[in-house]
Amino acid sequence: MARNIVAITGASSGIGAAFARKLAATHDLILIARRRDRLQGLASEFSDAHGTNTEILEADLTLEADIARVAEHIGADPRLVLLVNNAGFGTRGRFWDVPLEAQQQMHRLHIMATLQLTHAALRNMVPRDYGAIINVASVSAFVRVPGTVSYASTKTWMTTFTEGIYLELKSAHSNVVVQALCPGYTYSEFHETLGVQRETLGSPALWMPAEEVVDASLAGLGRRKLFVVPGWRYRLFTAFVSKLPSALRLQLQAASGKARSRQLELTVQVPATAKLPPPDRT
Ligand SMILES: NC(=O)c1ccc[n+]([C@@H]2O[C@H](COP(=O)([O-])OP(=O)(O)OC[C@H]3O[C@@H](n4cnc5c(N)ncnc54)[C@H](OP(=O)(O)O)[C@@H]3O)[C@@H](O)[C@H]2O)c1
């Protein structure tokens, strides 16, 4: 009998691969990422272990044509029951120091790909009144520190977008479920790609295995939870920070940003000889 299908972006490592491993026993899969060899490895692992049918879509989701191709594919499959918009990356440095192209790519991946794939999936799921979408955001959607401007703002967009879809589905009395998954530090290839050593980013108690993040997400899906923040420390912290008056919140974020700036070895790249405008005394 044909099984239901789950589509996962960024399935070649970390949280995306953990979603795939968790769901491969009960679902067929569409795995999406740039590294085909990694996806092929997972597909053979799942086929041997569970007889899973896995479709591999090699795609760079910062490219319009690739986003459109993937959207068309998932929009057309009547067995689609879950889309996980998970592909993502971070950048390192202050906004003006990080090349604009990297930040534009991040906006395309976190925002345009999520927007277009969610649109395609909902047009497929809503008429059937069945299915779910998980958008992998971050605790950075609630806590912003220097060095994460584009990352935090695109992840904040993801949570706001998911909340908006939640309200529209509710107003349409739809059974389709959406979730904004907001992990904190998670063991994956994310920080390796970023070129940051995990040890410099705080206590090991703050780090969670990708499998635990996925377990929390799927448990939350069963309870139709809109926001899932895995780990009690992060739940406590995000709840606390969101309730602070903005002046206090900014102070706290600036203080944690000072430490982070040192860890990320941020430098303001202004030549010593550059003429600076006079200080703003308004
Ligand atoms: N790790 C953390 O501490 C943490 C915390 C909060 C939120 N998150 C979020 O969790 C999500 C998954 O990250 P992770 O921690 O699992 O990191 P990861 O191991 O680096 O995985 C990132 C995934 O995204 C894919 N990807 C990156 N750029 C892509 C592109 N242009 N097109 C298609 N796929 C692309 C990568 O695949 P290819 O390289 O093969 O394309 C990879 O499968 C991200 O959205 C991240 O922001 C992570």
Q: How far apart are CA 58 and CA 73, in angstroms?
A: 12
Q: What is the mean pLDDT of residues 131-148?
A: 95
Q: How much is the pLDDT for 276?
A: 39
Q: How much is the pLDDT for 278?
A: 44
Residue 27 tokens, joined:
């679902």
Is residue 263 very low, low, confident or very high in pLDDT (cuts 50, 70, 90)? low
Q: Is the CB of 230 under 6 A from ligand 1?
A: no
Residue 82 tokens, joined:
């879950």
b/e map of 142-176 (b: 16 or more CB within 10 Å)?
bbbbbbbbbbbbbbbbbbebbeebbeebeeeebeb
The values of phi and psi at residue 10, to 5°, are 65, 40
Q: Which atom of ligand 1 is nearest to the CA of 137?
A: 7
Q: Which of 8, 9, 12 to mutate to test the pocket of ligand 1 (most atoms within 8 A of CB)?
A: 12
226 versus 200: the higher-pLDDT residue is: 226
Q: Which amino acid is at 60?
A: D
Q: Which amino acid is at 50?
A: H
User: In whole numbers, what is the pLDDT of the chain averaged over residues?
Assistant: 91
Q: How much is the pLDDT for 253?
A: 84
Q: Is the CB of 189 under 6 A from ligand 1?
A: yes
Q: Based on the number of CB atoms within 10 Å of its own CB, is 229 exposed (0-12), middle (13-18) or buried (19 or more)?
A: buried
Q: How confident is the model over 169-197, as pLDDT tens digits?
A: 999 999 999 999 999 999 999 999 998 88
pLDDT at 235 exceeding the cut of 60: yes
What domains, with CATH codes, occur in the chain?
5-263 (3.40.50.720)
Is residue 239 very low, low, confident or very high in pLDDT (cuts 50, 70, 90)? very high
Residue-wise DSSP of 45-112:
HHHHHH---EEEEE--TTSHHHHHHHHHHHHT-TTEEEEEE-------S-TTTS-HHHHHHHHIIIII
Q: Is the CB of 88 under 6 A from ligand 1?
A: yes
State pTM to two decimals.
0.93
